[in-house]
């Protein structure tokens, strides 16, 4: 039975490891700012206690005030899971570091988020539109599209 780790407990441990980053946790997820996302993801993947070796799903939601990128992480060894989120308040060029170098499974999913939501992932090896063609105006999954 996959156990969802308590976000508050994990959040405290992450905050201890990264004292300068502003890390918050609610009931479901830990939320980190985009500029420390990669370090936190690296920490969660490589700390033996967590061992999040499997990125289940990566997606984004447009809340108009900000974009939220959601990572569902799973550890196949311990059979536990965690939701990691980051919020991006920039609308013109929202930027979130790519996690492809940690989990290759993010490759096509980050391209999809870029294509449909317009979030840029620096560090992605091949950040191109995936479903729509180059030159398509706008990013249709944004709530203010049309």
Q: Candidates 14-22, 30-38, 55-63, 86-94: pick the segment binding another protein (CB under 8 A).
A: 55-63
**Which residue among 12, 24, 39, 56 contacts another protein (CB under 8 A)?**
56
* SS3 label, residue 115: helix
Return the number of other C-beta atoms located less than 10 Å from residue 16's C-beta.
Answer: 9
Q: Which is nearer to another protein, 16 or 133 (CB)?
A: 133
Sign of CA dihedral 98, 104, 107, 108: negative
72 binds another protein (CB under 8 A): yes
**Which residue among 8, 35, 79, 90 contacts another protein (CB under 8 A)?**
79
95 binds another protein (CB under 8 A): no
Residue 36 tokens read as 């420390």
- What separation in angstroms does the CA of 76 have from each of 51, 63, 85? 8, 32, 20
Q: Among residue numbers 3 through 32, which ones bind another protein (CB under 8 A)?
A: 28
109 binds another protein (CB under 8 A): yes
**Integer Cα distance of 92 and 133 in angstroms:** 20
Q: Facing residues of 24 across strands? A: 31
57 binds another protein (CB under 8 A): yes
Catalog residues that contact another protein under the rule CB under 8 A. 1-2, 28, 53-57, 59, 61-62, 70, 72, 76, 79, 83, 103-109, 112, 116, 129-133, 140-141
């Amino acid at each position: 039975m996959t156990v969802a780790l308590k976000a508050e407990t994990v959040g405290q441990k992450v905050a201890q490891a990264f004292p300068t980053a502003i890390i918050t946790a609610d009931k479901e997820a830990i939320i980190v700012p985009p500029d420390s996302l990669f370090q936190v993801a690296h920490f969660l993947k490589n700390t033996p206690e967590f061992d999040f070796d499997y990125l289940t799903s990566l997606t984004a939601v447009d809340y108009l005030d900000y974009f939220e990128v959601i990572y569902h992480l799973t550890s196949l060894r311990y059979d536990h899971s965690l939701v990691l989120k980051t919020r991006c308040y920039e609308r013109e060029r929202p930027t979130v570091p790519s996690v492809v170098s940690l989990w290759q499974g993010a490759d096509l999913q980050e391209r999809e988020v870029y294509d449909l939501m317009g979030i840029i992932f620096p560090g992605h090896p091949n950040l191109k539109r995936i479903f729509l063609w180059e030159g398509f105006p706008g990013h249709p999954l944004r709530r203010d599209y049309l």
